[in-house]
């Protein structure tokens, strides 16, 4: 399958790469035995994204306490949201995979496209520093800062705080099953809270499954 031209992606990002090799690295999956892939750039991009989002939040919400800013930050850099943003720009279609990996549906894998987006941010940072990275984030995250009227509370955090308030032991999460192919596993998690019926939930990562289990528990017990 022929990849779309890079300039289409550059338009979506609002950034033109001077170093096309750097962009290629950010768009190469480890299944391609080329010696280069996006993993190191992803590591860098993750840290750059966190800094930029923190800076924007610091400016937009000058009266908020550190704890509330941290909640907003966690929601805006989580993998689930990155995958949504990556899908909006059809990022998976630009990533180079092995034929087997692509045939298994890798370009729609949420974890992979979220990682590739972070890698692109890392590549933009290496090429131009923080300024173009911030412009990219403001373009792709547009409206999401303002639409978050109040600091979101992660279901796991809410559940833990509730349990502590009830004098209960901390909730326990345990992986009890895994299905799906290696490139797109689905985890089954059991959540246990003393004195309450266990709940189970699935997710494309352990974190997603645990979050869903906490959400189900809170809704089930009207917390």
Query: From CA 176, how far away is CA 198, in angstroms rounded?
Result: 12
* Phi, psi at 148, each rounded to 5°: -85, 85
The token pair at 195 is 């004195």
Contact status, residue 78 vs residue 67, Cβ threshold 8 Å: no
Helix 79-88 with 66-77: angle, nearest 10 deg: 50
Residue carrying structure tokens 């009830």: 166
Contact status, residue 95 vs residue 9, Cβ threshold 8 Å: no
Q: Give me the active site residues, please.
A: 46, 118
Cβ partners under 8 Å of residue 206, min gap 6: 175, 187, 189
């Amino acid at each position: 399958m022929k990849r779309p031209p890079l300039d289409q992606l550059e338009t979506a990002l609002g950034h033109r790469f001077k170093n096309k090799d750097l962009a290629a690295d950010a768009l190469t999956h480890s299944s391609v035995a080329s010696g280069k892939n996006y993993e190191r750039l992803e590591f860098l991009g993750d840290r750059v994204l966190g800094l930029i989002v923190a800076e924007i939040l610091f400016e937009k919400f000058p009266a908020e306490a550190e704890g509330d800013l941290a909640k907003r930050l966690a929601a805006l850099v989580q993998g689930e949201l990155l995958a949504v943003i990556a899908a909006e720009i059809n990022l998976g279609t630009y990533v180079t995979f092995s034929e087997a990996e692509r045939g298994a549906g890798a370009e729609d894998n949420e974890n992979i496209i979220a990682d590739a987006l972070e890698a692109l941010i890392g590549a933009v940072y290496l090429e131009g520093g923080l300024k173009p990275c911030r412009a990219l984030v403001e373009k792709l995250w547009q409206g999401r800062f303002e639409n978050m009227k109040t600091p979101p509370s992660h279901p796991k955090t809410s559940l833990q705080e509730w349990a502590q308030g009830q004098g209960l032991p901390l909730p326990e999460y345990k992986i009890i099953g895994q299905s799906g192919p290696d490139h797109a596993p689905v985890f089954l998690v059991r959540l246990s809270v003393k004195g309450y019926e266990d709940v189970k939930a699935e997710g494309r990562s352990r974190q997603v499954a645990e979050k869903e289990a906490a959400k189900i528990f809170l809704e089930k017990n009207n917390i």
